[in-house]
Amino acid sequence: MSEIDAIKSITRKVMTRDFDLVPTASGQGNRVHLEVWSNKLTQLPVGLELGHSTLVNFWLLRSDLPHNLPSGVTRADKEPTRDGWTDAENDGANHNLKHYRQFAGRPITRLGVRTVADAHQILNAITGSDPAGFSADERRAGAVGAAYILKINGEDHAPGGLCRPKSAEDWEGRTLQMPWRGERASSKSNKDPGDRVAVGDRLYIWTHEDRNYGHGLGLTATALADEVEAKEDELAIRLREVILLPRPFGFQILGPRVQDTVILQCMKADRGLRAWQMDATEKNCIDGLIQEFGSEAAARKAAAEAKYLSPLERAYNEELEDILQAENERKMAVVKARPGQQKFREEAMKRHGGRCVFTGVGVAAALEAAHVIPHTGNPAFEVAENCLLLRRDIHALFDANLIAIDPRTSKLVVSSALDSSRYAKSLKDRKVDHKLSREALRHQFRRFMVANDQDGDGHVGD
């Protein structure tokens, strides 16, 4: 079988299994030159030209393009006109496309595919179907496999122990050691055991962000499983077609968007190292998040925005994991004097007029200077707009996430854990002049909301 025939065979099998054939406008018509299919789960439309002898053309809406295209794929963008489409060379599109409402009047792109490997990558990007029905030979040849998020300790399990690769070549052709212990070494979001990773499967490699588990960057790269060997308590997976995300992202960058995807909610709740097998909907969600947060466009946007950040905001974005670590240490540590601490206190006393921001108490011996974004050693956090002056007991409650300032109203919110105490009566809904930077104010409120029950409109529950 020739390369082109193999592409056609694989594509036909995937379409038949995971897509519905869209009827022509007349209900009859010759599909030799064009077929349009719609994904059974997502309704993503795909136009196919399978009649050429040297390539297969995929037609996709511009908005549905994979975030990274194989270098061997020929791309042609087409803009809608009154009677079809055109491009910079005044070349149109397959005229039959205009009869399909899925494409009519919308920007589209033609992808010319000439190799099985490139077809594999395109098909993986537009469907998250599992490998059932494909032979091992077909999987090795590039048929669509299952899709997994591999959550690993980058220092222990990434190829060569490179937790933060600088280029795709650092991981390309090298072996990832995936922990594989117990029946839930692979898991689905409904908590059913998942399948074992196999040759041809699409991999989304997530290096654990916690300092104790490698201090990775979260979702770092995508790849295909080239070889898979079962060893004691692990799978040795050789990677191919590694694509590094221009902007890796984890739970901190995603923020509340984690709630949009069930499998990410499961991953956040269960911090173990395992393979998470995705269904088609979950894979499409992850691909969408990659486009939004991890693509070249997202990286350019983040870089542009960073130019206008204050030193404190820039340090906050760059040191999220260190801040979280400092938060944990602050909960357990006995407070010790640090160099510069006296100066920080003096600046806090001056900024807040020598009075507790929350209670108005002006007894200096009872007051403490409180970092809002915790001290990490970065001087960017040793600034007046990151400090509050608080009475000692109020400071302890603030650090324990029992009191916070609502950024929308500048009023105090109090945890329901304090309902029976005098603090709730004296502090709840009191408006304060906090003088905090926007980033510090948001940080303290986010950690308060995470630590306390929250209803849908952002208010603390009873």
Strand order in the sheet with 275-278: 175-179, 234-249, 218-231, 202-207, 147-152, 275-278, 186-187
Q: Quick: pLDDT tens for 47-61.
A: 999 888 899 999 999
Say if domain 146-306 classifies as CATH 2.40.50.100.
no
Which residue, among 445, 407, 452, 405, has the nearest Cα to 427 in the 3D structure?
Answer: 405
Q: What pLDDT score was predicted for residue 296? A: 80
More confident residue, 10 or 379: 10
Pairing state between β 275-278 and 186-187: parallel
Residue 459: per-residue pLDDT: 38
Which two three-digit tokens encode residue 317?
Answer: 């974005």
pLDDT of residue 404: 95
Confidence of residue 1 (pLDDT cuts 50, 70, 90): low
Q: pLDDT tens, 80-139?
A: 888 889 888 888 888 888 888 889 888 999 999 998 888 888 888 787 543 334 444 444
Residue-level pLDDT at 305: 64
Range picked from 28-37, 248-257, 413-422 for highest mean pLDDT: 413-422
Q: pLDDT band for 145, please (50, 70, 90 cuts).
A: low
d(CA 279, CA 286): 11
% of the chain at pLDDT higher than 90 = 36
Interhelix angle for 280-289 vs 262-269, to 10°?
80
Task: List the chain domain ranges.
Answer: 3-126, 146-306, 311-451
Question: How far is it, in rounded angstroms, from Cα 102 to Cα 60?
Answer: 10
Please enumerate in sequence order all residues whose Cβ is within 8 A of that of 257, keeping only pairs 6 or more positions apart, or say none.
289, 293
Is the separation of the CB atoms in 228 and 167 below 8 Å?
Answer: no
Helices 438-451, 311-318: crossing angle, 10 deg rounding: 40
What's the confidence (pLDDT) of residue 326?
56
The candidate with the shortest Cα–Cα distance to 203, out of 228, 222, 175, 230, is 222
Is residue 191's pLDDT more than 80? yes
| 36-46 tens-digit pLDDT | 999 887 788 99
What's the confidence (pLDDT) of residue 362? 93
pLDDT of residue 41: 77
Lowest mean pLDDT among 149-158, 226-235, 309-318, 369-378: 309-318
Instruction: Tell me what percent of the residues of the chain surpass a pLDDT of 70.
Output: 83
Higher pLDDT, 296 or 160: 160
pLDDT in tens, 374-429: 876 677 778 889 899 999 999 999 988 999 999 999 999 999 999 989 999 999 99
More confident residue, 196 or 127: 196
Task: Kindly report the pTM of this predicted structure.
Answer: 0.49
Residues 6+ apart with CB under 8 A from 456: none
pLDDT of residue 358: 96
Name the least confident of 89-93, 244-248, 349-353. Answer: 89-93
How far is Cα 312 from Cα 176, in angstroms, rounded to an integer? 37
**Averaged pLDDT, 255-271:** 88
Task: Using pLDDT thresholds of 50, 70 and 90, give the confidence band for residue 461.
Answer: very low
pLDDT at 366: 93
pLDDT at 324: 59
**pLDDT confidence of residue 71:** 80
Average pLDDT, the chain: 82
